[in-house]
Amino acid sequence: MSDLEVAKSVVKKLSKIRKSLSVAESITGGGLASALTDIPGASKVFIGGVIAYSDQVKINELSISKADLLKYGAVSEEIALAMAQGCLKKFKTDYALATTGVAGPGSDNGVKAGTAWIGVVGKGESFAIALSLSGTREIIRHATITSALAALERTLKP
């Protein structure tokens, strides 16, 4: 499924159940929000997001503790979930998605290119998904976007 197809499904399902969504993005750098806002009618469900590319933005905008970033690293299950939870609180939405990872081409702080984490939080849901991807920077970023949207889409019950 492409970004566009899964984004359409997410927007349709959120509209049907009258729920809202926000996003916190690192590896995807705004691509997740862009995929959602490409869909007509997304403004009914998509509230906004934070591009938290640096640790300082994760701390200031998403209330992630510096201690947790040092302990777990920015590319981790714990930080993906903390980003989603911080986003949910910041935007007061029903659901939040977060993406963190290394798109490459090289590794970052010992984390291999293609490593990504997705955090999904909302309506009794709270889980993270690890991705191990390969390909170009663009392929890794798009696969992360599609995987994040698909993870949320599977949790939405129309």
Q: Residue 158: which pLDDT band, with cuts at 50, 70 and 90?
A: low
pTM of the complete model: 0.96
> How far is the CA of 71 from the CAs of 38, 76, 113, 118, 119, in angstroms?
37, 10, 20, 18, 18
HSE on the CB side for 41, CA within 13 Å? 11
Structural domains of the chain ordered from first start: 3-155 (3.90.950.20)
pLDDT in tens, 69-90: 999 999 999 999 999 999 999 9
**CA–CA dist 61, 37 (Å, integer):** 22
Q: In what order do the strands lie in the sheet with 46-51?
A: 46-51, 21-25, 95-101, 115-122, 125-132
